[in-house]
């Protein structure tokens, strides 16, 4: 591996899962796919940590396991020390396990309850032939002491340990084969806060001592802030923003990152900061929204140029548009039929009339269609009338003064923002899918894998 080559380079990674279909879909041969990871690119250098954060179900764990080929990627490439992991044979992949490991989220389910700690850690040594009978036990005891446990614990079973101790055993198992890269799949989320700090400190000490790179997966930005060299924020299978902790936190730029940061609990009981509350829920990865996948919940969607909207009015119209598309408006619970249009306006905080007469005509017509339960007609009318790049064009990761951001608010073609508009794509070329990094960027991340897997 050359000096300027990243330890790990991920290019256009996709992982789709076949969804369970109903009888009609099976009858006509229709398949539905869950787009867990949808074209993700990033780089990781030796001894660095990339924190990967986002809501549950956004594809974080699928990325980590696809990198290690614990789950086969649907498309894309993963280069580790210049070798394409996705093209390796089973034998070559087995040899690579010595260099790429994983620490799982729940140690109680990832450690075999029928094996002693000696056998759990020693299994990886046996599979890869790293120690003989005379040195095996000494190596296991050394690993236990390195992660803060007693050598005498080697003959105990998993049920005899606390959650924090079990996670230390999982770390020792990953270290057994001297890996260069570890995927840490939410390694502290199941632990008490005080124990979380101890495990994080242990991982940092091991990185400093051994030069290991981490891909640290978590859903808590406050956790990854202290351990990561860079942080990638994921939403619905793509990367929304990637940068150093300073770039992401001071202040947050992407609307989704801003919402995540505002949700971090503050220790000050007198704190009166603003919470950014996102409307609705994460869309289904089976049928993700067009354009920017975050636009259905974003509080800063770019208004169409043809209409003079106040931001609050535009946000209310977008909310109506999304709910009409999903058919998620319970008319029976609103009011009687004669006053439905007015009640719908009140439900969505849509002024009567809107400040723009042309917009008022279109919205009024859409509300009449909704009152008549013609949701598809209303959604189509609102889609065609109020076209915005947020709903039509997928944003690419662009380098800005605050990291790399996939948001049209930072695209001068749409928002007219000043600054460098260079697109950041995996491996140094312009990216075409929501996540990437240029070759001259210091992209970072590390991963951990389970010993013997």
Alpha helices by DSSP H, listed for 68-192, are: 90-96, 107-110, 117-128, 136-146, 163-175
Q: Among 303, 302, 294, which residue's Cα sits nearest to residue 276?
A: 294
Q: Which of 387, 421, 446 is the last residue of a domain?
A: 387
Q: Is residue 323 part of a domain?
A: yes
Whether the model clears a pTM of 0.75, i.e. scores above it, the answer is yes
Q: Which of 361, 387, 413 is the last residue of a domain?
A: 387
Q: Is residue 361 part of a domain?
A: yes
Spatial contact of 69 and 450, defined as CB atoms under 8 Å apart:
no
For the ranges 39-48, 55-64, 425-434, the lowest mean pLDDT is seen at 425-434
Total domains in the fold of the chain: 2
Distance CA 385, CA 51 (A): 40
Q: Is residue 432 part of a domain?
A: no
Q: Is residue 328 part of a domain?
A: yes
The answer on 368 and 220 residing in a single domain is no
The answer on 340 and 242 residing in a single domain is no
Q: Burial, 396: exposed, middle or buried (Cβ in 10 Å; 0-12, 13-18, 19+)? A: buried
Mean pLDDT of the chain: 84
Q: Is residue 349 part of a domain?
A: yes
Q: Is residue 228 part of a domain?
A: yes
For the ranges 65-69, 199-203, 426-430, the lowest mean pLDDT is seen at 426-430
For 123-168, how does the pLDDT look when each residue is reduced to its tens digit (9 = 90+)? 999 998 888 888 999 999 999 999 999 999 999 999 999 999 999 9
Model pLDDT, residue 337: 55
For 391-421, how does the pLDDT look when each residue is reduced to its tens digit (9 = 90+)? 889 998 888 888 899 999 988 887 654 334 3
Q: Kindly indicate the confidence band of residue 22, based on its pLDDT and cuts at 50, 70 and 90.
A: low
Residue that wins the pLDDT comparison between 434 and 307: 307
Model pLDDT, residue 1: 59
Full residue range of the structural domain in which residue 84 is found: 8-249
Q: Is residue 420 part of a domain?
A: no
248: phi then psi, degrees, rounded to nearest 5: -80, -30
Q: Which of 354, 387, 420 is the last residue of a domain?
A: 387
Q: Kindly indicate the confidence band of residue 229, based on its pLDDT and cuts at 50, 70 and 90.
A: very high
């Amino acid at each position: 591996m050359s000096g300027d080559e990243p330890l790990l380079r991920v290019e256009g990674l996709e992982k789709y899962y076949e969804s369970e279909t109903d009888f009609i879909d099976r009858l006509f041969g229709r398949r539905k796919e869950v787009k867990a990871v949808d074209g993700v690119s990033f780089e990781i250098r030796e001894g660095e940590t990339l924190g990967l954060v986002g809501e549950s179900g956004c594809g974080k764990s699928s990325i980590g396991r696809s990198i290690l080929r614990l789950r086969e990627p649907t498309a894309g490439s993963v280069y580790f020390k210049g070798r394409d992991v996705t093209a390796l044979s089973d034998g070559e992949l087995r040899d690579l396990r010595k260099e790429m490991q994983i620490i799982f989220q729940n140690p109680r389910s990832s450690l075999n309850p029928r094996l002693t700690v000696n056998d759990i850690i020693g299994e990886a040594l046996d599979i890869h032939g790293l120690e003989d009978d005379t040195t095996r036990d000494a190596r296991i005891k050394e690993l236990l002491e390195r992660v803060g446990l007693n050598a005498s614990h080697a003959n105990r079973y998993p049920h005899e340990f606390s959650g924090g101790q079990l996670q230390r055993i999982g770390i020792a198992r990953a270290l057994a084969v001297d890996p260069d890269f570890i995927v840490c799949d939410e390694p502290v989320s199941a632990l008490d806060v005080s124990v979380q700090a101890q495990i994080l400190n242990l991982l940092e000490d091991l990185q400093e001592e051994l030069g290991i790179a981490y891909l640290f997966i978590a859903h808590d930005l406050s956790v990854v802030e202290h351990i990561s060299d860079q942080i990638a924020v994921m939403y619905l299978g793509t990367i929304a923003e990637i940068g150093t902790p300073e770039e992401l936190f001071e202040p947050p730029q992407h609307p989704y990152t801003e919402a995540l940061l505002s949700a971090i609990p503050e220790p000050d009981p007198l704190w009166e900061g603003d919470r950014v509350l996102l409307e609705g829920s994460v869309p289904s990865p089976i049928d993700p929204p067009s354009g920017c996948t975050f636009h259905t919940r974003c509080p800063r969607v770019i208004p169409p140029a043809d209409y003079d909207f106040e931001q609050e009015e535009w946000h209310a119209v977008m909310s109506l548009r999304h709910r009409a598309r999903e058919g998620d408006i319970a008319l029976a619970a609103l009011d009687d039929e004669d006053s439905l249009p007015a009640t719908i306006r009140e439900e969505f905080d849509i002024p009567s009339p809107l400040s723009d007469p042309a917009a008022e005509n279109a919205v009024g017509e859409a509300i009449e269609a909704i009152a008549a339960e013609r949701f598809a007609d209303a959604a189509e009318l609102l889609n065609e009338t109020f076209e915005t790049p947020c709903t039509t064009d997928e944003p690419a990761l662009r380098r800005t003064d605050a990291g790399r951001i996939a948001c049209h608010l930072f695209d001068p073609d749409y928002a007219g923002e000043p600054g460098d508009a260079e697109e950041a794509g995996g491996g140094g070329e312009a990216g075409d899918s929501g996540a990437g990094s240029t070759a001259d960027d210091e992209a970072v991340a590390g991963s951990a894998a389970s010993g013997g897997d």
